[in-house]
Amino acid sequence: MSKVVKFGGSSLASAEQFQKVGDIIRSDAGRRYVVPSAPGKRFKGDSKVTDMLYACYDLADEGRDFGRELGEIKARYQEIIEGLKLELDISQEFRSIEENFKAKAGSNYAASRGEYLNGIIMAAYLGYEFIDAAEVIFFDEEGNFDSDKTDKVLSARLAECQRAVVPGFYGSLPDGTIKTFSRGGSDVTGSIVAKAARADVYENWTDVSGFLIADPRIIENPIGIDVITYRELRELSYMGAGVLHEDAIFPVRQENIPINIRNTNAPEDNGTWIVGSTCQKSKYIITGIAGKKGFCSVNIEKDMMNSEVGFGRKVLQAFEESGISFEHIPSGIDTLTVFVHQDEFVHKEQKVAASLYRLARPDAVEIEADLALIAVVGRGMKSTRGTAGRIFSALAHANVNVKMIDQGSSELNIIIGVANDDFETAIKAIYDIFVLTNL
Ligand code: ASP
């Protein structure tokens, strides 16, 4: 059994947390490859080391003194080293970081030092080999992740060592410059390492026991999700269920390696399994509910739209010309509605409307703001009659006006548009009918 284990920032914020992580790793000989994040917050109001590094580098970049700020970062690591009673001297590392900051090595380099240093400490603590991610994780000239090169080099490197630590979040460009993934990107590194190691499991250790059916800020004590498929998670994650970086699914998905989300502070919990496909039914018909506020709908009307070849293309071209991506486009016989993110759209609405009139010659264009989209997702929906009916009668009972309905062609999800003000009420009503009442 071979496992790749990734630990998030809060799991590695202090020596005490490192010890929990050490116990977890040592309790299972299969946990061979470890991907650490940078130290996160130790308590509410504390700073994440990554944020401290960005702020410190900003000073360096402006040519200002950053000695105190770098000293505070060093102290965070020193506290961990001393707490773990390690014989490890990181002074030389900090001297070269200081020099590189002065030489303006870039904010990507700066941020990456958070995981780099934590990786060195983790390797010393566990007695594992340290592999610098810059030597095994690659981006191309355009800055896109180079999956083929990485997989080749990384799998060869891992084959040489039984146990290793690979810091998360960064890799290198063809000229050797450090580049990071987007924030939270150690999740992506973990997935890349799991793929290259052809691991049996990718364990992602964080500070919650997996995914919840709904947002706990809206639903009190929502039930956890035991098993979810990659596709279900995609539908939920793009709506903002933020436990795992959304790009982390892709590398392991190619190899059908399951991800197990676990809680460092409650290792006895099974957490959530994310799998390719499963015959395990979810406890309820729905696997999860997620949503986002802040959408606009652009409703375009034109008589005989349905018989005009190319109408849809012209409409979308108007959005494309202003660099706006769309979220959903439900359509009727003489109407087509485009859902867009309000914050992206608001400054460009008049330009888009003008392009629409120029390109598509509609009879009318109407814009409605302050809408929310809710995704109700579940692999069980396909084989169950009446799911949509139950959702809409629950919403009607809760006095929520439904503005848009879109059932994905996979029958895996139903997307509902409501007013921003109805967002929480709608989620509560859906949760009630499927989970609490479970009729
Ligand atoms: N340390 C980085 C961040 O704060 C990456 C990560 O933790 O995954 O975003």
pLDDT tens digits, 25-49: 999 999 999 999 999 999 999 999 9
What atom in ligand 1 is closest to the CA of residue 115?
1
Do 215 and 92 share a structural domain?
yes
pLDDT in tens, 96-109: 999 999 999 999 99
Q: How far is the CA of 51 from the centre of ligand 1 (A)?
A: 9
Q: Name the band, by pLDDT with cuts 50, 70 and 90, for residue 373.
A: very high
Residue 216 lies in a domain: yes
- Residue 430: closest CA among 280, 327, 291, 297: 291
> Reduced to 3 states, what is the DSSP secondary structure of residue 290?
strand
Asked if residue 118 lies in contact with residue 36, where contact means CB atoms within 8 angstroms, the answer is yes
Residue 412 lies in a domain: yes
Q: Is 344 left (phi over 0), alpha (psi -120 to 50) or beta?
A: alpha
Residue 280 lies in a domain: no
pLDDT in tens, 69-90: 999 999 999 999 999 999 999 9
Do 409 and 268 share a structural domain?
no
Which residues are paired to 426 by β-bridges? Answer: none
Q: How far is the CA of 170 from the centre of ligand 1 (A)?
A: 10
DSSP state of 221: S
Do 208 and 104 share a structural domain?
yes
Cα–Cα distance measured from residue 424 to residue 400, given in angstroms and rounded to the nearest whole number: 10
Do 222 and 150 share a structural domain?
yes
Domain boundary among 242, 275, 308: 275
Burial of 373 per CB tally in 10 Å (0-12, 13-18, 19+) = buried
| CA nearest ligand 1 atom 2, residue | 184
Asked if residue 297 lies in contact with residue 417, where contact means CB atoms within 8 angstroms, the answer is yes
pLDDT in tens, 236-249: 876 655 679 989 99
* Count of the separate structural domains present in the chain: 2
pLDDT in tens, 320-338: 999 999 988 988 889 999 9
| Displacement of CA 38 from its chain's centroid (Å) | 17
Residue 281 lies in a domain: no
> Reduced to 3 states, what is the DSSP secondary structure of residue 399?
coil
Residue 283 lies in a domain: no
Do 426 and 307 share a structural domain?
yes
Residue 387 belongs to a domain with what CATH number?
3.30.2130.10
Do 369 and 268 share a structural domain?
no
Residue 203 lies in a domain: yes
Domain boundary among 238, 254, 275: 275
Do 267 and 296 share a structural domain?
no
Q: Does the model's pTM come out above 0.75?
A: yes
Residue 164 belongs to a domain with what CATH number?
3.40.1160.10
Cα–Cα distance measured from residue 33 to residue 410, given in angstroms and rounded to the nearest whole number: 36
Find the domain containing 118 and state its range. Answer: 3-275
Burial 408-433 (b: 16+ CB within 10 A, else e): eeeebbbbbbbbeebbbbbbbbbbeb
Residue linked to tokens 């169950």: 384
Q: Name the band, by pLDDT with cuts 50, 70 and 90, for residue 305.
A: confident
Cα–Cα distance measured from residue 92 to residue 96, given in angstroms and rounded to the nearest whole number: 6
Q: What pLDDT score does 240 carry?
A: 58
For the residues of 293-317, what is the DSSP string, one character each? Answer: EEEEEEEEE-TTGGG-TTHHHHHHH
Do 19 and 104 share a structural domain?
yes
Do 294 and 244 share a structural domain?
no
The H or E element that residue 255 is part of is helix 249-255
Residue 432 lies in a domain: yes
Do 364 and 222 share a structural domain?
no
Q: Name the band, by pLDDT with cuts 50, 70 and 90, for residue 350.
A: very high
Q: How far is the CA of 141 from the centre of ligand 1 (A)?
A: 23
User: 126 phi and psi, to 5 degrees?
Assistant: -90, -20
Ligand 1 binding site (Cβ under 6 Å of any ligand atom): 9, 37-38, 48, 50, 114, 168-169, 183-187
| Displacement of CA 126 from its chain's centroid (Å) | 28
Residue 282 lies in a domain: no
- Residue 227: closest CA among 269, 267, 270, 291: 270
Q: How far is the CA of 206 from the centre of ligand 1 (A)?
A: 12
Do 329 and 242 share a structural domain?
no
Do 312 and 260 share a structural domain?
no
Domain boundary among 254, 275, 296: 275
- Tell me which of 216 and 50 has the higher pLDDT: 50
- Beta-carbon contacts of 85 under 8 Å, excluding residues fewer than 6 positions away, are none
Neighbours of 222 (CB within 10 A): 19
